[in-house]
Structure 1
Amino acid sequence: MWMLSIRTLLAVWSHGTSMDSHACIMAFMPRGKASPTTTDPSMRILVVHGKDDFLRLERVKRFIEQLEEEHGQVEIFTFDGGEASRAEILDELRSFGLLQQHKVVIIENAESFMAVEENRRAMEQYAEAALDQATLVLRAMTWRPGKFDKKLDGVGAVIKCDVPSNSEAMRWTIARASKRHEAQLDQDAAGLLVERIGPDLAKLDNEIAKLSSMSASRNESGQFIITRDQVVEMVGLSRQEQAWELQSILLRADPAASLSKLHELREISRVPDVLLIWSITDVLRKLHDAARMRAAGVSDQVVAKTLKLWGPARDAVLQVSRRHPPGRLGSLLSQAVQVDEASKTGRTANPVRSIETLTVTVADSLR
């Protein structure tokens, strides 16, 4: 069994490897073997645990990409460990997938599932003869090592995802900007970003996405350039929070209140138009993704984790996404993207009117 820890991965990945597990700092410690720096698609069982939702989601996402490289398209089945029975999970693991595709069976809240003695024993027995046609992934916030871990020798791995230090987060931010957001983020800008946001990779990733979408400058390689000045301008915490206030009003589907909040943010708080458009686009993207996932039968809990929804935003986004089909939300998202593009390229005669129209249209359509 491989035992993994996040600092090793961050150090390796920040020096230019192709690994993209996003800070599930892995310290593989195999018995008598050199330490590898990545999971292996031949692994039939993977345990990913830790307090950071983002890290757990990203690590599993990367592992599934490896499985797809090995097996082609895979079928993914997700179970809530607090509700699913061991019979359901074992039946899914043992049955053959559609067109003989490789299957990935994910147990969310695996700590709840494994806390039941009968479930734990069943998983221990399965680990002794894990099937080749399926991969079992257990994702948990907390994890107690036991007999199950020992039975993963040769067939699986346990990965612990911890929150990185500020210096590790800064290196990750620079690499993440380049690899995932096609953006150039220098050390000074990255340092300020981490200083203002903290080593929360989910929030840092969100900020990088926002900053890259707002940048109009590119380097010789075609990457968006994110400067320290942009971080100062766009990531002031109070200004960021004020821009997000618009999302909460939009989700209430109140056109008049939404327009009033837009004017307040623009004229009193002086929030930049580009940040306001991003705020509208961001909430529409979350709604669209949530509606698509729900239409595919994904549970609210998994939707919230995947889209990184917490607090009041979680309930509001899920509630609104239930009322509208993905196609309608996708159309609204396309309109927002068009307004954003026109604003950045100067192709709109009246930018203020465009934002106002978009705000009222979105609020009215979400009723």
Structure 2
Amino acid sequence: MAKLTVKPIYLLKGNDSFLRSSYREQAISAIVGDSDRQLCVSIHSPDAVLSDILDDLRSPAFLAPRRAVILNDADSFVTAYRSELENYFAAPSSVASLILIVSSMTASTKIYKIIAKIGTICDCSCPKDPRKVTKWIAQAASKRDKTINTQAARQLLEYVGPDLSALGNEIDKLAAYVGDSSEIKLDDVDTMVTNSTGPNRFDLPNAIDRGNVTKALQVLDGMLTKRGDEFAVLGLIAWHLRKTFAKQSSARSGASFRKLIQADLAMKSGTDPVSAIRDLVVSLCSAGR
């Protein structure tokens, strides 16, 4: 993230709250420096009228080199006053800078091209390339004096989704959880992070293989959303046991299949299916340790 310099207009486009906050802070610092922000920063809501914005932009700041005028969620404002803004940008104020925060703006529009010519455009959308996001995760962990390997970073991204603010919050939690350890591991992510993007059908067998009871039950609860889901989960576990049969000792694989058969019989003979499947998952996790 390159350091911003003083410009008459900054366009922050995109919905990632972390990037919005970071670029907004950089822009304000570039405009007012170390001056008292209460005296030289004006913040306007989306329902602001053009005359109020222009009055602020033409008013010299008190005890500061320039005034920063911020307009949050400005999409509707730009639509309503597009031509007036284009006229203003032709001769912008010499005593203030405007920070426009929008969800989107088409690059082919006249106003976008004018802003690109005289101001700074900051992309506040989370990168679409997962490799860039996992790189950002590693950098964020490093700022907290932690390391995180690629596999753990990918799992964190899968659980949280492409939201840098939310990812930063989870990294804070993980850094606190690992304490004096310098590394955030895959098991730490599995234990501490909730899969907010929805359960992945392979998260359950993965947790069972690692012997992570807490994570396995957490994933299981997310998979049991309606009556009958227990049997679908039983089928998934059966598939997974068959898939891993060759990798396990005959004694261990045989014990796992016996537990599976016992759970299947219990569910078909009147035992509460949810209780039966939870008991099976706990038992398999214990065997996997």
TM-score strictly above 0.5:
yes
1:78 partner amino acid? I
Deviation string, structure 1 residues 247-283 (Cα, Å, up to 9, x no partner) = xxxxxxxxxxxxxxxxxxxxxx979xxxxxxxxxxxx
TM-score (norm 1): 0.48
Which of the numbers 105, 110, 116 marks the counterpart of 2:74? 110
Which of the numbers 194, 203, 208 marks the counterpart of 2:171? 208
Paired residue for 2:94? 132
Q: Output the aligned Cα RMSD.
A: 2.8
Displacement after TM superposition at 1:199 (Å) = 2.1
Are 2:11 and 2:115, in contact at CA under 8 Å, matched by a contact in 1? no
Paired residue for 2:137? 173
Which of the numbers 11, 17, 30 marks the counterpart of 1:47? 11
User: 2:123 aligned with 1:160, yes or no?
Assistant: yes
1:215 partner amino acid? V
**Hey, what's the Cα distance between the residues in 1 that align with 2:158 and 2:214?**
23
Paired residue for 2:284? none
**Hey, what's the Cα distance between the residues in 2 that align with 1:197 and 1:113?**
32
Paired residue for 2:45? 80
User: 2:104 aligned with 1:142, yes or no?
Assistant: yes
> Which stretches in structure 2 are left out of the alignment for 5+ residues?
197-212, 216-289
Displacement after TM superposition at 1:206 (Å) = 1.1
**Hey, what's the Cα distance between the residues in 1 that align with 2:9 and 2:77?**
15
Change (3 A) 1:86 1:236: closer
Structure label with greater radius of gyration: 2
**Hey, what's the Cα distance between the residues in 1 that align with 2:169 and 2:64?**
37
**Hey, what's the Cα distance between the residues in 2 that align with 1:153 and 1:206?**
32
Matched residues, number:
196
> Which stretches in structure 1 are left out of the alignment for 5+ residues?
1-18, 20-37, 220-224, 239-268, 272-367
Are 1:48 and 1:160, in contact at CA under 8 Å, matched by a contact in 2? yes
What's the secondary structure of 1:126's corresponding residue? helix
1:77 partner amino acid? S
Displacement after TM superposition at 1:96 (Å) = 1.5
TM-score (norm 2): 0.59
**Hey, what's the Cα distance between the residues in 1 that align with 2:19 and 2:116?**
24
**Hey, what's the Cα distance between the residues in 2 that align with 1:111 and 1:79?**
13
Change (3 A) 1:205 1:107: same
**Hey, what's the Cα distance between the residues in 2 that align with 1:170 and 1:150?**
32
Are 1:130 and 1:155, in contact at CA under 8 Å, matched by a contact in 2? no
Deviation string, structure 1 residues 291-331 (Cα, Å, up to 9, x no partner) = xxxxxxxxxxxxxxxxxxxxxxxxxxxxxxxxxxxxxxxxx
2:185 partner amino acid? T
**After superposition, where does 1:168-247 map in structure 2 within 5 Å?**
168-179=132-143, 181-219=144-182, 225-237=183-195
Change (3 A) 1:191 1:144: closer
**Hey, what's the Cα distance between the residues in 2 that align with 1:129 and 1:182?**
47
